[in-house]
Amino acid sequence: MTFAPALRSELIKIRTLRSLLWGLASVLLATAAFSALAGLDDSGEEFDPLFSTFFGVSFGQIAAITFGAQAVSAEFQGGALRLSLAAVPDRVRWFAAKAVAVGGPALVIGLVSGGVSMVVGTAVLGSRANTLTWGEELRGAVGCGVYLALMALFAAGIAAVLRSGVATLSILIPFLLIVSFVVGGASGTVADFLPDKAGQVVLHETWDGALGPWTGLGVTALWAAGALAAGAWSMRRRDA
């Protein structure tokens, strides 16, 4: 089977698995809802109107990595992977199709989430969002979509290595909620290169670290590419 039919079959799997559709919907709901709630908070000395507008991405990324992990780990249950590889014997081609099938919908729902968060977040902020330019808001919306897609791909690559959605989420969720925020804050510039810290620079109006908005997303893309490369290597070397 060539790449195009393989991709179509993987997209059909995502459309027909209710848990994956709910996972995508959760990305939108979590991102928009928490962005709106963040706007209700009173501004402090370090108030960043752009990050407040897109604050919900901190929660939407949990849904994104859950979607990416589940989409891949489902193949390792009930012999599903053997059936997939019977149709697409080239394991790298199959995994590439799986990655595109994960990244494409994640990017679309991420961009929608970014657009909705921009509208809802700025509406809730009211006059506090007057300092934002259209270019900054557009950067935040597009960056939100790209970031969420990259985090879904990052999780997909790790799930291919670990062959378990539970194990993947057991590592990534504590990492995002504990290591990045607690340990990362005490590690100086090293924290700037963590996948979430780097990618979320695009959501800030100003930044002081070593990375800018697009170079930060580039670092997150390297993390995702590394995880996918490891996943492809695992697929080639290990039995189905």
Report the distance separating Cα 66 and Cα 173, nearest Å. 9
Roughly what angle, to the nearest 10 degrees, separates helices 91-125 and 57-73?
160
Buried b / exposed e over 199-235, threshold 16 CB at 10 Å, is: bbbbbbbebeeebebeebbebbbebbeebbeebbebb
> Mind listing the pLDDT tens digit for each residue in 66-115?
999 999 999 988 778 888 888 888 899 999 999 999 999 999 999 999 99
- What pLDDT is recorded for position 151? 97
Please spell the DSSP secondary structure of 23-60, one letter per residue. Answer: HHHHHHHHHHHHHHHHHTSPP-TT--HHHHHTTTHHHH
Please give the Cα distance from 22 to 205 (Å, whole number).
31
Asked if residue 156 lies in contact with residue 72, where contact means CB atoms within 8 angstroms, the answer is yes
pLDDT of residue 168: 95
Over residues 228-237, the pLDDT tens digits come to 999 999 988 8
User: What per-residue confidence (pLDDT) applies to 190?
Assistant: 74
Burial (0-12, 13-18, 19+ Cβ within 10 Å), 1: middle
Residue 111: CB atoms within 10 A of its CB come to 17
Q: How far apart are CA 190 and CA 178, in angstroms?
A: 15
Tens digits of residue pLDDT in 147-198: 999 999 999 999 999 999 999 999 999 988 877 666 655 555 777 888 998 9
Backbone torsions φ then ψ of 239, nearest 5 degrees = -70, 155
Q: pLDDT tens for residues 2-39?
A: 888 899 999 999 999 899 999 999 999 999 999 888 76
CA gap 229, 176 in Å, rounded = 21
Q: What are the C-alpha distances in Å from 51 to residues 56, 203, 231?
A: 9, 5, 32
